[in-house]
């Protein structure tokens, strides 16, 4: 009887790409964190839409933002929501620098969970899985 194969972590759920979200989920291929920006009023719309949620202009396009931010709130998740999911890990809401009013739910990686705190400065790091580049964040210093 052979021993059980080593367990591998489950794949991340895959967003279904469409006209509105494609630039967000694939921008990491060029190292870009793309957020929809309005060419008329200058404000950002997230989740991405084909019109500006502030002024309803259709003159919108994805814009690469700085990719840095601050942890606005966070939780240490202990529940394995899928078989083989390694816990604990940090789920955080990151307030993006230069993108007022936009938050991203993400994971804070490359630090032990007890070293991650409210107010920490973080920067984006992309994790590729197929066509999708997941914008995860790590501590900036």
Q: Which residues in this chain contact other proteins in the complex, by CB under 8 A?
A: 12-16, 18, 21, 46-47, 73-79, 81-82, 85, 89, 91-93, 101-107, 118, 132, 134, 136
Structural element, H or E, at residue 23: helix 22-26
Our CB check for other proteins shows the closer of 122 and 134 to be 134
- Which is it for strands 44-45 and 33-38: parallel, antiparallel or unpaired? antiparallel
Q: How far is the CB of 39 from other proteins (least distance, A)?
A: 22
Contact (CB, 8 A) for 59 and 66? no
Closest distance of CB 31 from other proteins, Å: 19
23 vs 92 by CB, closer to other proteins: 92
CB of residue 18 to other proteins, shortest distance in Å = 7
């Amino acid at each position: 009887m052979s021993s059980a194969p080593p367990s591998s972590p489950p794949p991340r759920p895959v967003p279904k790409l469409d006209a509105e979200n494609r630039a967000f989920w694939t921008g990491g291929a060029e190292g870009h964190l793309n957020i929809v920006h309005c060419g008329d009023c200058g404000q950002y719309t997230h989740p991405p839409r084909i019109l500006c949620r502030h002024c309803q202009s259709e003159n919108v396009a994805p814009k690469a933002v700085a990719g840095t931010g601050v942890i606005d709130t966070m939780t240490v998740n202990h529940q394995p929501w899928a078989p083989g999911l390694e816990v604990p890990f940090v789920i955080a809401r990151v307030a993006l620098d230069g993108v007022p009013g936009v938050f991203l739910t993400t994971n804070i990686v490359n630090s032990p969970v007890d070293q991650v705190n409210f107010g920490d400065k973080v920067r984006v790091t992309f994790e590729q899985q197929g066509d999708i580049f997941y914008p995860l964040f790590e501590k900036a210093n």
